[in-house]
Amino acid sequence: MSLIEQTFIHLDGIGHRTERRLWDRGIRTWRDFLDRNRMVFSPGRDAAIRGVLKESIAHRDDPGWFWERLPAQETWRLFGDFGHDACYLDIETAGLDFGMDEITVIGLYGKRGPESFVAGFNLDDFEAAVADYGMVVTFNGAGFDLPFIRRAFPNIWLPKAHIDLRFVLRKLGLTGGLKKIEHETGISRSADIDGLNGLDAVYLWRNWQNGDRESLDRLVAYNRADAENLEPLMNLAFERLLARNIPPKD
Helix axes 198-209, 213-228, angle to 10 degrees: 150
Alpha-carbon distance 17 to 14, whole Å? 8
The one-letter code for the residue type at 57 is: I
- Nearest-5° Cα angle at 145, 142 to 150: 90
Mean pLDDT of 92-115: 87
Alpha-carbon distance 126 to 95, whole Å? 20
Alpha-carbon distance 240 to 173, whole Å? 11
Task: Flag whether pLDDT at 33 surpasses 90.
Answer: yes
Alpha-carbon distance 162 to 152, whole Å? 19
Task: Flag whether pLDDT at 97 surpasses 70.
Answer: no
Task: Flag whether pLDDT at 76 surpasses 90.
Answer: yes
Domains and CATH numbers, the chain: 4-60 (no CATH), 81-238 (3.30.420.10)
Average pLDDT score, the chain? 95
pLDDT of residue 17: 94
Length of the chain: 250
- Identify the helix (H) or strand (E) that includes residue 89: strand 86-93
Cα 169 from chain centre: 11
Contact assessment for residue 89 and residue 106, using Cβ atoms and an 8 Å cutoff: yes
**What percentage of residues in the chain have a pLDDT greater than 70?**
96
pLDDT of residue 73: 87
Q: Give the long-range contacts of residues 189-197, CB within 8 A, separation 24 or more.
A: 189/225, 189/229, 190/221, 190/225, 192/218, 192/221, 193/218, 193/221, 193/222, 193/225, 196/222
pLDDT of residue 184: 97
How would you classify residue 45: left for phi > 0, otherwise alpha for psi between -120 and 50, otherwise beta? alpha
Mean pLDDT of 175-182: 96
Contact assessment for residue 241 and residue 76, using Cβ atoms and an 8 Å cutoff: yes
Contact assessment for residue 193 and residue 225, using Cβ atoms and an 8 Å cutoff: yes
Confidence class of residue 247 from pLDDT cuts 50, 70 and 90? confident
Alpha-carbon distance 32 to 35, whole Å? 5
- pLDDT, tens only, 196-225: 999 999 999 999 999 999 999 999 999 999
Alpha-carbon distance 151 to 100, whole Å? 11
pLDDT of residue 245: 83
Q: Which residues contact 198 (CB under 8 A, 6 or more apart)?
A: 92, 96
